[in-house]
């Protein structure tokens, strides 16, 4: 797939997939090395190139996967001038939703806002349209529509980890005891909700390729990322299709008399920083994380080390990990109270600076 995804408009790239997998890390580098060295094995028979428009078949397939309950949700759909406007409004209307469209015409210059629904600065138009139109919820898509952002009926943003908890509330009653792969950056509300519903949370690395690989290994029914990738394998194909994710949310709303805001009150919302990303050279960042981890283990602190180090405090947690794609450190903290969060951010910053991290400020 040719896509720049949610990157700035000047960027473009190729997304490679095969056998329901997305290569990453060394696999991506090996493809690059084969191409640059012209070291590729000739196929036994020539490949076939054909051009086809499968839009109608794709939308038909989506429609066949979602059957709404008695309520017909009212939705605002913000495509951000990406690909979402080509498919999402028609799909949602055909399953029975009342849809208001924002920025559905594809335009790679992104004249209205950048198509990244995980950043609050890209959501004011969606929030305003939901509140002014009395919608049940709003959905936003990134440029290639593999990530979803959601705004509830009160105009409050529902970030990816709490959205996953809501999806699990529909899945786990049908599949008690299912394993729930939780990205290490996620709020503690996610595993708490999964356990409350009878599921088995499992911490795992950040990154959609890694999450999908772990899902296949564990035969998991659903997982996702804080960044809005949602992977449904209970009734779908296990890849991140934001249109289908929107349809699943519509189905949840269609089967209840509660508002989305009311449903979300059952899922804790703890004080937290945002995912704080700050510059740190590649030749420094790995050492910083390793030293933070070694110090925490030496102190016999409760830690999760599947991806960086997540330190578990009495009333919250703090995480630091390296970015897989940039010379950047990624940190996040969460507390059960504002006071607990303040203490955790102070301690995590102290640990990071002592480990050789550049100075930084927490984002909220």
Residues of the chain with CATH 3.40.120.10: 55-264
- Residue 22 pLDDT > 80, yes or no? no
Residue 175's pLDDT is 98
Q: Is 230 left (phi over 0), alpha (psi -120 to 50) or beta?
A: beta
Residue with the larger pLDDT of the pair 323 and 241: 241
Torsion of the alpha carbons at 307, 309, 313 and 318, rounded to the nearest 10: -80
The answer to which of 9-18, 54-63, 305-314 has the lowest mean pLDDT is 9-18
Give 14's pLDDT tier (boundaries 50, 70, 90): confident
Residue 26's pLDDT is 79
Torsion of the alpha carbons at 60, 12, 161 and 104, rounded to the nearest 10: -50
Question: Would you say 223 and 215 are in contact if contact means Cβ atoms under 8 Å apart?
Answer: yes
Give 257's pLDDT tier (boundaries 50, 70, 90): very high
- Residue 21 pLDDT > 70, yes or no? no
Residues of the chain with CATH 3.30.310.50: 276-354
- pLDDT, one tens digit per residue, over 168-181 is 999 999 999 999 99
Percent of the chain at pLDDT > 90 equals: 82
Residue 83's pLDDT is 95
- pLDDT, one tens digit per residue, over 36-45 is 888 888 888 8
Residue 20's pLDDT is 64
- Residue 19 pLDDT > 70, yes or no? no
CA atoms within 13 Å, Cβ hemisphere of 329: 30
pTM reported for the whole predicted model: 0.90
- Residue 256 pLDDT > 90, yes or no? yes
Catalytic positions are 5
Residue 37's pLDDT is 86
**Alpha-carbon gap, residue 115 to 92, rounded angstroms:** 19
**Alpha-carbon gap, residue 282 to 259, rounded angstroms:** 46
**Alpha-carbon gap, residue 285 to 279, rounded angstroms:** 9
Residue with the larger pLDDT of the pair 1 and 194: 194
The answer to which of 59-63, 321-325, 348-352 has the lowest mean pLDDT is 321-325
Percent of the chain at pLDDT > 70 equals: 98
Give 209's pLDDT tier (boundaries 50, 70, 90): confident
Give 362's pLDDT tier (boundaries 50, 70, 90): very high
Give 6's pLDDT tier (boundaries 50, 70, 90): low
- pLDDT, one tens digit per residue, over 314-349 is 999 999 999 887 899 999 999 999 999 999 999 999
Q: What is the 3-state secondary structure (H, E, C) of 213-227?
A: HHHHHHCCCEEECCC
**Alpha-carbon gap, residue 193 to 30, rounded angstroms:** 40
Give 34's pLDDT tier (boundaries 50, 70, 90): confident
Question: Would you say 136 and 260 are in contact if contact means Cβ atoms under 8 Å apart?
Answer: yes
**CATH class of the domain at 276-354:** alpha beta
Residue 15's pLDDT is 76
- Residue 24 pLDDT > 80, yes or no? no
Question: Which CATH number applies to 55-264?
Answer: 3.40.120.10
């Amino acid at each position: 797939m040719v896509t720049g995804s949610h990157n700035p408009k000047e960027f473009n790239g190729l997304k490679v997939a095969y056998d329901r997998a997305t290569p990453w890390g060394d696999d991506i580098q090996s493809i690059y090395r084969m191409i640059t060295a012209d070291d590729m094995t000739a196929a036994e028979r020539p490949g076939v190139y054909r051009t086809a428009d499968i839009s109608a078949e794709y939308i038909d397939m989506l429609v066949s996967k979602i059957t709404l309950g008695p309520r017909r949700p009212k939705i605002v759909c913000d495509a951000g001038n990406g690909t979402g406007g080509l498919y999402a409004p028609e799909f949602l209307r055909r399953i029975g939703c009342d849809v208001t469209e924002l920025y559905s015409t594809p335009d790679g210059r992104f004249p209205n806002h950048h198509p990244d629904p995980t950043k609050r600065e890209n959501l004011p138009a969606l929030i305003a349209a939901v509140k002014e139109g009395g919608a049940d919820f709003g959905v936003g898509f990134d440029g290639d529509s593999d990530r979803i952002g959601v705004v509830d009926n009160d105009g409050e943003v529902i970030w990816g980890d709490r959205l996953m908890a809501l999806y699990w509330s529909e899945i786990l009653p049908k599949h008690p005891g299912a394993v729930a792969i939780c990205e290490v950056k996620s709020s503690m509300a996610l595993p708490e909700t999964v356990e409350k519903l009878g599921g088995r949370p499992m911490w795992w690395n950040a990154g959609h390729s890694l999450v999908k690989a772990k899902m296949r290994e564990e035969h998991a029914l659903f997982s996702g990322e804080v960044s809005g990738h949602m992977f449904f394998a209970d009734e779908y194909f296990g890849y991140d299709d934001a249109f289908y994710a929107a349809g699943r949310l519509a189905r949840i709303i269609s089967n209840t008399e509660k508002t989305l805001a009311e449903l979300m009150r059952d899922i804790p919302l703890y004080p937290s920083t945002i995912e704080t990303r700050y510059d740190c050279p590649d030749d420094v960042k790995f050492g910083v994380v390793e030293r933070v981890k070694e110090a925490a283990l030496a102190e016999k602190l409760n830690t999760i080390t599947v991806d960086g180090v997540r330190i578990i405090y009495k009333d919250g947690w703090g995480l630091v990990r390296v970015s897989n794609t940039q010379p950047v450190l990624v940190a996040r903290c969460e507390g059960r109270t504002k006071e607990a969060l303040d203490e955790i951010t102070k301690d995590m910053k102290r640990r990071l600076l002592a480990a050789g991290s550049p100075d930084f400020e927490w984002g909220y």
